[in-house]
Amino acid sequence: MELYKTIKFVKRVFLLFISILFIFGCSSNKAAVKENQAFNSEESLKKANDLIERGNYEEAREILENVKARDASQQYATLAKLRIADTYFENESYEEAATEYETFLKADPYNKYASYAQYKLAMSFFKQVKTIDISYSTALKALEEFERLQRNYPRNPYMDVTENRIKACQRMLSEYEFYVGSFYFKKGSYEAAAQRFNKLLNNYPDVMKVPEALYYLGLSYEKMGQKGLAIKTLKILTDKFPSLELSKEAQKHLVSFGYLIIKSDNEK
């Protein structure tokens, strides 16, 4: 009899326990459904944008991560990914920004915001360029990304500013090549100097350093005993930039080589 009562009691306790679990589970599911229904991706994105404008980048990023994870439509999740990159860019965390923009482009290179992401990726590298002696690789990467923007997205709305950025990168890179070439020239390593000056002339033919590069390339060839190349290089300088002082110096070297310089009527 006692055993029967004990079993009956245990059954009641077990049934009560199951009932509690069922009620708790239902209420939890209802709460989860309610919470999901209450989440508004669009409103969350607007809130994040407001925070970014106020400079609250970390708080904005938390909201954007939430949108990215919970937006079932993926319409706002895509924008959230891009705006996460923007939070790093606006906070001048350019390395992190570049990583996020690259991830966005790899995932969806044909997205309607892809040209924007490509432009900001290039700018993330451009913003990191300081003195050219320590930022050569960064300037080169910026140039590559700007050129990729023009190549992959020819109708991008950043064409004018991109052209200016490309010229700025080319100028910085040419200055670096000239800097290194001059170092080798002063050191007496004329072959290494010639390689650098040639690299400048081949890669950046429209920069301001071209006359100087031609002049010192000609002198490097002279020092290397390559008279023919020296005459050819200095003659290019005098023909393309006749009014420069460097061209007058180049003419003196050409005369010393026995090269006959025929002056025009204006120069007589």
pLDDT in tens, 161-178: 999 999 999 999 999 999
- What range defines the domain where residue 115 resides? 92-157
With bands split at pLDDT 50, 70 and 90, how would you rate the model's confidence at 198?
A: very high
* pTM assigned to the model: 0.77
Among 22-31, 48-57, 104-113, 190-199, the least confident range: 22-31
According to the model, what pLDDT value does residue 39 have?
Answer: 73
The most confident of 21-35, 81-95, 248-262, by mean pLDDT:
81-95
According to the model, what pLDDT value does residue 126 have?
Answer: 96
According to the model, what pLDDT value does residue 135 have?
Answer: 84
pLDDT in tens, 105-122: 999 999 999 999 999 999
pLDDT in tens, 120-146: 999 999 999 988 777 899 999 999 999
- Same domain for 76 and 119, yes or no, is no
According to the model, what pLDDT value does residue 260 have?
Answer: 54
- 215 half-sphere exposure, CB direction, 13 A CA radius: 19
87: in domain: yes
- Same domain for 87 and 104, yes or no, is no
- Same domain for 118 and 86, yes or no, is no
- Same domain for 209 and 250, yes or no, is yes
Other Cβ atoms within 10 Å of 18 Cβ, number: 10
Letter for the amino acid at 142? A
Cα–Cα separations (whole angstroms), residue 223 to 45, 184, 212, 257:
65, 12, 16, 12
Pair 172, 133: CB distance under 8 Å: no
- Same domain for 182 and 254, yes or no, is yes
189: in domain: yes
CATH number of 247's domain: 1.25.40.10
According to the model, what pLDDT value does residue 65 have?
Answer: 95
pLDDT in tens, 222-243: 999 999 999 999 999 999 999 9
21 pLDDT higher than 80? no
Cα–Cα separations (whole angstroms), residue 209 to 30, 48, 175, 195, 214:
71, 46, 7, 15, 9
267 pLDDT higher than 90? no
CB proximity list for 220: less than 8 A, separation 6 or greater: 185, 190, 191, 193, 194, 197
21: in domain: no
The rounded percent of the chain whose pLDDT value lies above 70 is 82
- Same domain for 77 and 100, yes or no, is no
- Same domain for 117 and 61, yes or no, is no
- Same domain for 67 and 122, yes or no, is no
Tokens matching residue 44: 């969350």
According to the model, what pLDDT value does residue 100 have?
Answer: 97
94 pLDDT higher than 80? yes
How many independent structural domains does the chain possess? 3
According to the model, what pLDDT value does residue 30 have?
Answer: 44
Mean pLDDT of all residues belonging to the chain: 86
According to the model, what pLDDT value does residue 14 have?
Answer: 46
With bands split at pLDDT 50, 70 and 90, how would you rate the model's confidence at 27?
A: very low
Give the relative orientation of helices 210-223 and 159-187 as an angle to the nearest 10 degrees: 30
